[in-house]
Structure 1
Amino acid sequence: MNTEEIKSKFKSALAEAKSKIAELESKREDLSDNLKAEFDEKVAQMKAKKDELEAKLEKLEDSSEDKWDEVKDHLSDAASSFKEGFSKLGKLFG
């Protein structure tokens, strides 16, 4: 997989992340008041992970080929962390 294909893959993952966050936020009003605080905290964590993923993707786009492997690994870690966090959030509030 070349750099453009990998960038495209991560851009798709980022778009999916934004969509899933919006989907979860739309369910907030259905929660009891005591769950809303926990929900808000978890969504804030997911947004932070999304922001981290965006920053790493931006760094990837600006990186030279010799730094590409290093940045790609960090981006993969951030994407995995986001997916894991979203899965846990979905189980709690989905």
Structure 2
Amino acid sequence: MQITKIALFLFAAMGAVASPIEAEAESGINARAENGANVLYTGQCFKKDNICKYKVNGKQNIAKCPSAANKRCEKDKNKCTFDSYDRKVTCDFRK
């Protein structure tokens, strides 16, 4: 009986220590918000190659759109965005 009480106490203590703290600052400012204007790049996607072409500082870049049926480029010159922070491409579906 004594071992179960100690085990229960240790389990509760580990849960309290391992619980996450609030990650967002009270002021609402986080590291990503500082460069938010420079993070998203808008371009055009092309159906044949399933790619997104966007420009960064005048230089054209190419990123592959996701291959899932509901996320790939459906029509030439649809809008697409590249998030340089997360390195994710979003090809707008049927727009």
- The TM-score with structure 2 as length reference comes to 0.23
Which is richer in helix?
1
Which is richer in strand?
2
- The TM-score with structure 1 as length reference comes to 0.23
